[in-house]
Amino acid sequence: MTHEEALKAIDEQVKKQDLLVFMKGTTDFPMCGFSGRVVQIFRALGREPVGINVLENDALRNGVKEYSNWPTIPQIYVKGEFIGGCDITVEMAQSGELQKLLDEKLGPAKKA
């Protein structure tokens, strides 16, 4: 995968997925504590994110940092909008803003 192909693939996924996490590992087997934490937070709110494992591909791992202009993984997108990384997700979950944002953008969560 070339750099340009990676950026195009990232853009397609960002626009297509409602709740997207670029992460190290998968949602069922995160390979980094920060990535795992955001998946846990979304699941606790009754949301199942789509995870893209950036470890599968260097072009993807480097491409997403450039795409979002953000230096670290994980990176969270809701309905195509960049939310931030792990710290921001944790803060928003603690303040209740995250649940509000998800309800507004994606509709009510399914009962867990």
Partner 1 sequence: MTIEELVLKIQKALPGADVYAQDLTGAGNHFEAVVVSDALVGKSRLQRHRLVMDPFLEDMKGPLHALTIKTYTQEEWANV
Considering only residues 11 to 50 of the shown chain, the ones binding partner 1 according to CB under 8 A are 34
Distant-in-sequence, close-in-space partners of 43: CB < 8 Å, separation ≥ 6: 112
Q: How far is the CB of 91 from partner 1 (least distance, A)?
A: 6
Q: How far is the CB of 111 from partner 1 (least distance, A)?
A: 29
Distant-in-sequence, close-in-space partners of 2: CB < 8 Å, separation ≥ 6: 59
Of residues 40 and 72, the one with the C-beta less far from partner 1: 72
Q: How far is the CB of 86 from partner 1 (least distance, A)?
A: 8
Q: Which residues contact partner 1 (rule: CB under 8 A)?
A: 34, 69-72, 82-88, 91-92
